[in-house]
Amino acid sequence: MVAGIVSGRLALVTGAGSGIGRAACQVLSREGATVIAADKDYESAVETIKKHTALASGSNAVGDHCAFELDVSNTKSILDLFTKLQRQYKAPPTIIINSAGITRDNWLLKLSEDDFNSVHDVNLKGTFLIMQTFAKALTEASLPGSIVNISSIVGKYGNMGQTNYSASKAGVIGMTKSAAKELGKFNIRVNAILPGFIDTPMVKTVPEKVKEGMLKLIPLGRLGDPTEVAEMITFLSSDKSSYITGTTVEVTGGF
């Protein structure tokens, strides 16, 4: 087994087929965790396991990583995953990373109800459903755990064109703090990360002019790398952060 700060732990990562979720699988596996990569796009989750985990870099002793299809906005899909995981691993994951997320940007005056709802279904309700399902399993198995929710800096400050997205991410912050209060007595910690502008497929849709304007507001003068978020995810997942719960950590280059 790889000696690392999450050695021997089982970690579920949603949105694991891309960006921050994929980087989280990479760093968690590097630090010794067995990784369950779950994504709406099954093929991309498989690619994460095959090409982006410690297993892929030559070690065959990092555990039994696996990829699964999952739609976090769909209760049945989550319960299906839960059943498969119980069968395969016999115990629930003790690290849960909620990274699945979408944007449907538009000006408030033009935003459709569908685009408001779909963003909330994935970003907010999806985080709720995953937390509820897996925290319940942890309490029933009397296991401690760590949940890390990926919110966003725009959940704190807002952003033009993102009334739906920023509201969903503000909701994740409130939900994280409330869940931490409820789950502390079970030794389940819940924290949120607020990334700034991170270089993933999600920001590829941002117009170049807007990107240039954003860069001027970032003291470190560059976009973040998904791995820089994943390092914080892994720290919050590990016992290195054993007295940290209900908090938010900004990973923004100072934005």
Alpha carbon distance, N-terminus to C-terminus of the chain? 38
Decide whether 132 or 242 has the Cβ nearer to ligand NAP: 132
* Spatial separation of the C-alpha atoms in residues 46 and 240, rounded to whole Å: 29
The structure tokens 């990583």 sit at: 65
Q: Enter the tokens of residue 163.
A: 């009334």
Decide whether 31 or 47 has the Cβ nearer to ligand NAP: 47
Decide whether 120 or 187 has the Cβ nearer to ligand NAP: 120
Number of helices and strands (H, E) in the chain? 9, 7
The structure tokens 């090409």 sit at: 51
* Spatial separation of the C-alpha atoms in residues 218 and 216, rounded to whole Å: 6
Question: Which residues contribute to the site for ligand NAP (CB under 6 A)?
Answer: 14-15, 17-21, 39-41, 44, 70-73, 99-102, 122, 126, 150, 152, 195, 197-198, 200-203
Determine how many CB atoms are found less than 10 A away from the CB of residue 116: 18
DSSP code, position 125:
I
What minimum distance in Å lies between the beta carbon of 103 and ligand NAP? 7
What minimum distance in Å lies between the beta carbon of 100 and ligand NAP? 3
* Spatial separation of the C-alpha atoms in residues 199 and 205, rounded to whole Å: 11
Tell me which of 42, 89, 157, 165 is the catalytic residue.
165
What minimum distance in Å lies between the beta carbon of 200 and ligand NAP? 3
Cβ contacts of 74 within 8 Å, gap of 6 or more:
none
Decide whether 135 or 150 has the Cβ nearer to ligand NAP: 150
What minimum distance in Å lies between the beta carbon of 228 and ligand NAP? 11
* Spatial separation of the C-alpha atoms in residues 18 and 152, rounded to whole Å: 17
Decide whether 70 or 180 has the Cβ nearer to ligand NAP: 70
For residues 101 and 118, the answer to whether their CB atoms sit within 8 Å is no
SS3 45: helix
Determine whether 165 is an active site residue.
yes
What minimum distance in Å lies between the beta carbon of 230 and ligand NAP? 10
Active site residues: 165
